[in-house]
Structure 1
Amino acid sequence: MALRNRRTVLARVVAVLAALVFLPATPATAADQRAPGADRAAADDRAAGDREAGADGRPATKRAFVVRDGTRLTVAGRPFRFAGPNEYWLGLDENVGGVDPTDPPTVDYPTYFRIRDGLTTAKAMGSTVVRAHTVGVSTGNPRSLEPALGQFNERAFDSIDYSVAEAGRLGLRLIVPLTDNWQYYHGGRYDFLRWLGLSTDNNGALFYTDPGARAAFKEYVRHLLTHVNRYTGVRYTDDPTIMAWELGNELNGMTPDWVEDSAGYVKSLAGRQLVAAGSQGGVDPAVLAAPHVDISDSHYYPPTAERIAADATAATRAGKVYVAGEYGSGQATDELLDQVAANPEVSGALFWSLFPHHDHYGYVPHSDGFTVHYPGDTPGMRAVVAALTRFASRMSGAPLRPVVGDRPLLTAIDASYGINTLRWRGTAGAAGYLVQRRGPGTGWRTVSGAQPLSDNDTPWLDLTTPAGPVTYRIVAVDAAGRSVATSAPVATDPASDQLFDPLEDWYDTAGHSDSLRRIPAGDGVLVAPAPGASGELRYQRERITAATVTVASVGVPRAVLEVSADGTTGWHPVRPRIAPAGHGRYALSVSRLSGVNGLRVVWRPGARFAVASVALTAAAGSVATGAPGSFGLTAPAPGATGVSRLAALTWSAAPGTAYYSLTVSEHPDLSSPLVSVSGLHTTGYTPTSAWPAATTLYVRITATNGYGSTAVTGSPVSFTTRADVPGVVVDDFDTYPSDAALAAAYPANTGGDPITATLAPAGEGSGHSMLLSYTLGSNGYAGVIHTLPAAQDWRGTTGLRMWIKPGTDGQRLTLQFVAAGFYWESTVTLAGTAPRVVEVPFSAFAPPPWATPGPLDLSSVTQLSLYPGGGAGSGTIQLDSIGAYVS
């Protein structure tokens, strides 16, 4: 058995290397694409990926298509009901950023890890179906499948192919929209109109009636549906993983003949797969009347059991299968979902929306108010995840089975003045993590405390970092605290930093040749040049002292490692130690480097190896020789009065500090503290709730490193808050220490034109205001979305009040908030450019035309958005002291 396993893995290494290095640059066969570690799961996990349970709990083969039987769905003759998430980003992602998850997002292909982790997370939540917009909607962007009319970008198929293959491996089904009603980054129906020079007036009605637009859309559909997946070797139309093709996401204004013509065309290409369709709200008569449409898809923001039941009845009476294709996750409760699951007319329901772990640490961030991370960032989200998971099990009729993704990965350990900071990549299906440490001659010991850490606790400071060399590992645990996966151990010492690059992206590298390509290999990737090409992979880091490059190779690799004093010039080779690192893997190690600030891996023409990972050790840039230096509180100023109740605390940097500790109390002896927190990385702290009104607060800040601690000058320092005012303070912009912090709290609506939020001098009171700078263009709107740190109760208030300084005469500002899950908005027009206080009563607010109407329930307000306008071109508007006022 062991010998056969070794031969199997080695054969897969050969296949991957052949695909990377020796084969022509064309889509490879399924056999060519099999990779080391593809069968990494245990036998029961493999079975779970190859089988799925029907409503009666009996297995049904994954290869069976989902079939419509009247108004119900079946698989292999058994009833099929489902629940799951929307993961719109699987083919093209707007949330790709830098190493730090707080870096500004850009549009790019999601990494293989993100795709794998996101789908595995869905499986861990009991999901059986995932709705994936950008697996099908991909037009108009340079990275889209069709960037311009008739021009197809085959590179865009790779992430789509991998998503379909991974969904199939996990036993998940996909619903794939083919275009979009909205003008988002991934494209939609307006692209076809613009390409053909057709008018977009009347909500783009010509998309449905113009023969050229209809023909262009069909050509796009044909190109997508007839594609052969490079990872499975199966044509999309022959793959049961794709349960249904949806004509489009929330297509408003569809004409009956367009629906039937388009649905019939899809059926002609994909006769064994289902066709879904639906508009933004309710059920669409054109969908119900179309013989070739199988599924009527309705969306809910917020969802109610009554509306879902009414739409399900309307759809099934018309002979269609009914699916709630989107519903806001914030309203996912057992009370709602139990009613949905008990309704046999509902075949499936999919929440909006699920996001995976970040490639380096934490989660992929997204600020639309409906983001779900597993197992949950907050107590409220954890309750939502639990309800969604129970709902999925009830819909499928199968008990929840444990599912765990890639094992955790320690991506960095930084030594800062004798204190280590750890970053790790999380694991799909894990409930938490333990940080374990061992010293020379000692066993593993948990140093992160009795309670498991969450993915949001990284970066994590080891406040008890010992003075000598240590080794760390991360243990992923389930809800009962049992270990489910453990990271590889990483050794370090007080004078060294460690970096591990899994090569899913290029953010850790200083540069690479364009010839390099990635191919997924089990729980990682392999990187090598295109066939016949040379290549290089470069790293630039100060004072590199050691490196280990892990490669896949058939036989001892002929890899060239070079180092440089400046990381850009003067490269010269070093001879690595080569040691086996698993079947078909080798570790190339160099150590005792001096005066090295750059390292690169070089492929000569004909080289037969691929890089799997790079680990670097560098001299720590901050080594302590004594306790931190002196420092002082900078804001609020010591002794200040009339301070904002939302004021952030900032202080000057104490030289030689590894971390800060903060205590805030109403008492001079700092007893009964309002805040007591340690392990702060930055010289600032933003409160999560307002300070008490008209109260003198006492502050002690302590700077600590491996040698000792230093208290803030004058400790404890005091300041006095302003008296309370009637109403609720939403934001006075005094809490943000930087433009980056403000921009993170007020991200742009990615579907609109460019807009940025920056700090400006106070408009009212002290501290800061917010300046919005925007450029209105083709999308016709620009705005920022602020998700409140905690839901606010505005009951008893009259309306919204704010200080405004318009940038131009006649400027407009649309105010939009979400209360109890329903959207409300109002637009004010501002005469002149003089600053003024504006009050907008709640009676002036109404649901926007695209939103679901509902009652104005101000007991739970979760989001405030601001949309300036008033004409094409650039503009600015300054705002301060936003609150709900009492008249």
Structure 2
Amino acid sequence: MTLRIRRTAVALVAVLAAGALSAPPAVAGGRTAAPEPPSRRAEAAFVVRDGTRLSVAGRPFRFAGPNMYWLGLDENVGGTDPADPPAVDHPTYFRIRDGLTTARRMGATVVRAHTLGVSTGNPKSLEPALGQFNPEAFDRIDYAVAEARRQGLRLIVPLTDNWQYYHGGRYDFLRWLGLSTDDDGALFYTDPGARAAFKQYVHTLLTHVNRYTGKRYTDDPTIMAWELGNELNGMTADWVDDVAGHVKALAPRQLVAAGSQHGTDPAVLASPHVDISDSHYYPPTAAGIAADAAAATAAGKVYLAGEFGSGQATDDLLDQVAANPDVSGALFWSLFGHHDHSGFVPHGDGFTVHYPGDTPAMREAVSALTRFAGKMSGRPAPAVTGDRPLLTAIDADYGITTLRWRGTAGAAGYLVQRRGPGGAWATVSGTRPLSADDAPWYDLTTPVGRVTYRVVAVDGTGAAVAVSPPVGTDPTADQTFDPLEDWFVTAGHSDSLRRTPTAGGVLVAPARGRPGELRYQRDDLTAATITVASAGRPKAVVEVSADGTTGWRAVRPRIDKAGHGRYTLSVTGLRDVDGIRVVWRRDARFAVASVALSARSDSVTSSAPGAFALTAPAPDATGVSRLAALDWSAAPGAAYYSLTVSEHADLSAPLVAVSGLRTPGFTPTTAWPAGVTLHVRVTATNGYGSTSANAAFTTRADLPGVVVDDFDTYPSDEALTAAYPRNTGGDPITTTLAPAGEGSGHSMRLSWTPGASGYAGVIHNLPAAQDWRGTTGLRMWVEPGADGQQLTVQFVASGFYWEKTLTFTGTEPRVVEVPFADFAPPPWATPGPLDLGAVTQLSLYPGGATGPSSLRLDSLGAYAR
């Protein structure tokens, strides 16, 4: 087929190409070119306050957009697979660029970004320890500000945090100074030393000169407002006046915002130095927003709903907010973009938004938020798209090709296309566009022989907006593409290497005058293509190794010109090679833009998969949990599995019929029927045939009420942890499977160590909303690990939070029943009615211990009386 890329997308690519934020390091005859300006548009005007309203260049300014707290320091950085454990690190340039482009696609004009300002106490923070500043931490902050500026977005930047999250907050200053954190850290507001240390931090941040724009932060209208802190509780009037005055003195043309966790703060409303009163809502209600907006504007302040839960984003709510002239802005929590290698950046707090939406509910919320942004700004969301998609991995799995790709900001979906030698492109992924989350995608019609793939990003009408570079492969080879935004694909690199962002990626090279190396290790490498930037024919050294670690020997790559200032270094015909590296001599003048590797697949066969069997539930087992996962042994040579489950022996009217399962196992999202025999067929398939295994099991009789979790569905500790991720703002806590406490199967053990955060907990987002109406309370089997332990049980029902703290006497196991009448809204949450019709989240926070502790839980459910 012939692709006609929409002109708006082409124009955007051209703008991106012209807007490189920095030149490659030392690539042009020993000279480093001066950074280009991030945008050629006319200098933006500052947002100014006119009483209780905002304006820009004399025009009224109202706004909507997301919170993107992670832009400066991210807790969600993982490995090449989005399922890898997260770690705290600086976000990649791609994630920043992709996330901000996504915000624009949703109509945002303002983004609130905590870690552009809150960055203390972590080794990668701006201020890791008192008075010690980390210049490298400024790089991503600089880039995010420059990229927001290029895209015409404004920023609200908090300066500290009320809470003890990974990126730091006000308690860091107290601990550094040896001050007490009692009384909710009140000394932060009253101790002169703490105040002086914080003001020094603020001064260092605000007076910094951005390396990409050449502007001091205080001179950049991109930063619309500095917020004294996120949800600061306990602020005194003296502290607000002093710190807000300090910010105003440093940044007289920028606005000052402030707010506490709930409602409006009297100290904020009274301060002459504060422009914006910020209030937060979990969940949001039109009445609550209207009441706070009226209070703020009556005090002469601009009003902002700085956070509201995305799960309650509906046209009914947001239309009322948009119609209220006292509301100058409203920002939802929270937006994440694409992962660097495949899918989206995962985050498990229950309010994560991906564009255009992972589920029907999220898609509805994204649509409502986009319409709301248009009503607030007075213009529709622009049809922008970001970097073109990239095929990051193509694997040959026993005759079936699987593909992973990096998504494109603003794309509504993707088509996978394939062509044979001399043939035309044909869409092989079906007529319905795929989601970025559909990767890895299986080409079930993989032909024998060499083929070429590409991924086409499409908009909501199905029009192509961007196309990935094509990648050729065959059923015996694996392909890996490294865009070099992170180090997860590499096997190692010298500390001398630095990344330089450009409009469409990064360039990697050593600091000037230093040697360096970039190393990869793959079994049975056959070829590599290294794309470099260089002013002339690059003097690059490429070496290979039999084991990937020793015995390096130089090879002579084929060098081809690939555009202005770009060359490809190609090495082919490799045998008995497991490693390849690029070496920079001290006088080298080139930078690496990407690396593509080809290796012989270790998943090659010429016959159908071997025999296998269902292992759990055991064949013909009885009394099986209604939440039980299915597991089977791996079939030798299987590329994927198909599963059918039915109440009928002939497998008619199946309860489950899925295909394309990559691993031997399946976890249901809804409970199996009670007290029935279920018949199971698993089929293992590859490019040469199929093999099936059959079994049956009988579920146990139904219990009155609703089963939330009996922990019998998880095949491993890793699967349990994925379902119950740690609240990263709290102290360390782990989840592991333990022997059953009640019935059969497993229980869950929570193990934690009390620390500086003062709490530890896990959050379980239910796979599907549960209806607890008609039940009386929550029931659970508990085995405390010590006398006096506590457990706070928290759930979200119809958007409102409810919790109850239990205290245990002794360590003997017991069944606990807690009536719903005993639950109350947490002190930090918006009160609301107890509507049990849609329960979406259950969280567990153990406590009452002074050292490493644990307790066990089983049979969580809502009981009926």
Distance in 2 of aligned mates of 1:457 and 1:471: 20
Aligned to 1:671: 652
Matched, 1:697 2:678: yes
Distance in 1 of aligned mates of 2:246 and 2:444: 63
Distance in 1 of aligned mates of 2:773 and 2:23: 65
**1:402-453 CA distances to partner (integer Å, 9 max, x unpaired)?**
0100000100001011111100000000000000001112111111111000
Q: State how 1:476-495 maps to structure 2 within 5 Å.
A: 476-495=457-476
> Conserved in 2, the CA contact under 8 Å of 1:374 and 1:429?
yes
- AA of the residue aligned to 1:460: W
Aligned to 1:119: 100
- Structure 2: 5+ residue stretches without partners: 1-12
Q: State how 1:333-348 maps to structure 2 within 5 Å.
A: 333-348=314-329
Moved more, 232-241 or 810-819: 810-819
How far does residue 278 in structure 1 lie from its aligned partner after superposition?
0.5
Matched, 1:834 2:836: no
**1:372-409 CA distances to partner (integer Å, 9 max, x unpaired)?**
01100100000000000000000000122201000001
- AA of the residue aligned to 1:777: G
How far does residue 515 in structure 1 lie from its aligned partner after superposition?
0.4
- AA of the residue aligned to 1:582: G
Aligned to 1:535: 516
**1:786-817 CA distances to partner (integer Å, 9 max, x unpaired)?**
01111111111111111111111221111111
Distance in 1 of aligned mates of 2:690 and 2:741: 39
> Conserved in 1, the CA contact under 8 Å of 2:22 and 2:212?
no
Distance in 2 of aligned mates of 1:392 and 1:88: 19
Matched, 1:451 2:432: yes
> Conserved in 2, the CA contact under 8 Å of 1:496 and 1:618?
yes
Identify if the C-alpha distance between structure 1 residues 743 and 177 changes in structure 2 by more than 3 Å, giving closer, same or farther: same
Identify if the C-alpha distance between structure 1 residues 20 and 115 changes in structure 2 by more than 3 Å, giving closer, same or farther: farther
Q: State how 1:315-326 maps to structure 2 within 5 Å.
A: 315-326=296-307
> Conserved in 2, the CA contact under 8 Å of 1:536 and 1:602?
yes
> Conserved in 2, the CA contact under 8 Å of 1:477 and 1:483?
yes
Aligned to 1:310: 291
Aligned to 2:594: 613
Distance in 2 of aligned mates of 1:691 and 1:598: 49
Distance in 1 of aligned mates of 2:826 and 2:784: 24
Aligned to 1:849: 827
How far does residue 287 in structure 1 lie from its aligned partner after superposition?
0.5
1:18 is paired with a residue of what secondary structure? coil
2:388 is paired with a residue of what secondary structure? coil
Q: State how 1:578-617 maps to structure 2 within 5 Å.
A: 578-617=559-598
> Conserved in 2, the CA contact under 8 Å of 1:518 and 1:527?
yes
Aligned to 2:796: 818
2:26 is paired with a residue of what secondary structure? helix
Distance in 2 of aligned mates of 1:699 and 1:158: 54
Matched, 1:794 2:772: yes
**Partner of residue 135 from structure 2, selected from 144, 151, 154:** 154
2:25 is paired with a residue of what secondary structure? helix
Distance in 1 of aligned mates of 2:73 and 2:688: 48
Matched, 1:65 2:46: yes
Aligned to 1:743: 721
**1:489-517 CA distances to partner (integer Å, 9 max, x unpaired)?**
00000110000000000000100000000
How far does residue 17 in structure 1 lie from its aligned partner after superposition?
3.2
**Partner of residue 553 from structure 1, selected from 527, 534, 541:** 534
2:452 is paired with a residue of what secondary structure? strand
Matched, 1:773 2:751: yes
- AA of the residue aligned to 1:729: V
- AA of the residue aligned to 1:878: R
Distance in 2 of aligned mates of 1:243 and 1:477: 33
Distance in 1 of aligned mates of 2:29 and 2:196: 39
**1:251-281 CA distances to partner (integer Å, 9 max, x unpaired)?**
1111111111111111111011000000000
**Partner of residue 637 from structure 1, selected from 578, 600, 618:** 618
**1:285-324 CA distances to partner (integer Å, 9 max, x unpaired)?**
1111111111000000110000101111111111110010
- AA of the residue aligned to 1:705: N
Matched, 1:805 2:783: yes
**CA RMSD in angstroms, aligned pairs only:** 1.7
> Conserved in 2, the CA contact under 8 Å of 1:536 and 1:603?
yes
> Conserved in 2, the CA contact under 8 Å of 1:784 and 1:866?
yes
**Partner of residue 571 from structure 1, selected from 540, 552, 556:** 552
How far does residue 32 in structure 1 lie from its aligned partner after superposition?
2.2
**1:814-856 CA distances to partner (integer Å, 9 max, x unpaired)?**
1111111111111112222222211111122111222222221
Distance in 2 of aligned mates of 1:435 and 1:675: 26
Aligned to 2:220: 239
- AA of the residue aligned to 2:755: G
- Structure 1: 5+ residue stretches without partners: 39-45, 51-60
Aligned to 1:33: 35
Distance in 2 of aligned mates of 1:17 and 1:183: 38
**Partner of residue 24 from structure 2, selected from 4, 7, 16:** 16
- AA of the residue aligned to 1:377: D
How far does residue 14 in structure 1 lie from its aligned partner after superposition?
10
> Conserved in 1, the CA contact under 8 Å of 2:20 and 2:501?
no
Identify if the C-alpha distance between structure 1 residues 239 and 643 changes in structure 2 by more than 3 Å, giving closer, same or farther: same
Q: State how 1:186-265 maps to structure 2 within 5 Å.
A: 186-265=167-246
Aligned to 2:4: none
Distance in 1 of aligned mates of 2:660 and 2:594: 30
Distance in 1 of aligned mates of 2:430 and 2:750: 43
Aligned to 1:87: 68
**Partner of residue 661 from structure 1, selected from 638, 642, 646:** 642
> Conserved in 1, the CA contact under 8 Å of 2:21 and 2:501?
no
Distance in 2 of aligned mates of 1:249 and 1:21: 48
> Conserved in 2, the CA contact under 8 Å of 1:34 and 1:521?
no
Matched, 1:278 2:259: yes
Distance in 2 of aligned mates of 1:875 and 1:435: 50
Distance in 1 of aligned mates of 2:777 and 2:17: 66
The TM-score with structure 2 as length reference comes to 0.97
- AA of the residue aligned to 1:16: P
Distance in 1 of aligned mates of 2:544 and 2:28: 25
**1:740-797 CA distances to partner (integer Å, 9 max, x unpaired)?**
1110110011011111111112211122111111111121211111011111111111
Matched, 1:498 2:479: yes
How far does residue 352 in structure 1 lie from its aligned partner after superposition?
0.3
The TM-score with structure 1 as length reference comes to 0.94
Aligned to 1:41: none
> Conserved in 2, the CA contact under 8 Å of 1:20 and 1:529?
no
Spell out structure 1 runs of 4+ moving beyond 6 A: 8-14
How far does residue 20 in structure 1 lie from its aligned partner after superposition?
10
Aligned to 1:760: 738
How many pairs does the alignment contain?
Answer: 852
> Conserved in 2, the CA contact under 8 Å of 1:646 and 1:691?
yes
Aligned-pair identity (%): 76
> Conserved in 1, the CA contact under 8 Å of 2:25 and 2:500?
no
Distance in 1 of aligned mates of 2:606 and 2:113: 54
**1:127-152 CA distances to partner (integer Å, 9 max, x unpaired)?**
00000000000011111101111110
- AA of the residue aligned to 2:212: Y
Distance in 2 of aligned mates of 1:857 and 1:316: 32
How far does residue 209 in structure 1 lie from its aligned partner after superposition?
1.2
> Conserved in 2, the CA contact under 8 Å of 1:813 and 1:867?
yes
How far does residue 610 in structure 1 lie from its aligned partner after superposition?
0.3
> Conserved in 2, the CA contact under 8 Å of 1:641 and 1:721?
yes
> Conserved in 1, the CA contact under 8 Å of 2:21 and 2:35?
no
Identify if the C-alpha distance between structure 1 residues 244 and 11 changes in structure 2 by more than 3 Å, giving closer, same or farther: closer
Identify if the C-alpha distance between structure 1 residues 774 and 15 changes in structure 2 by more than 3 Å, giving closer, same or farther: closer
1:298 is paired with a residue of what secondary structure? strand
- AA of the residue aligned to 2:727: N
> Conserved in 2, the CA contact under 8 Å of 1:10 and 1:584?
no
Moved more, 78-87 or 658-667: 658-667
- AA of the residue aligned to 2:450: P
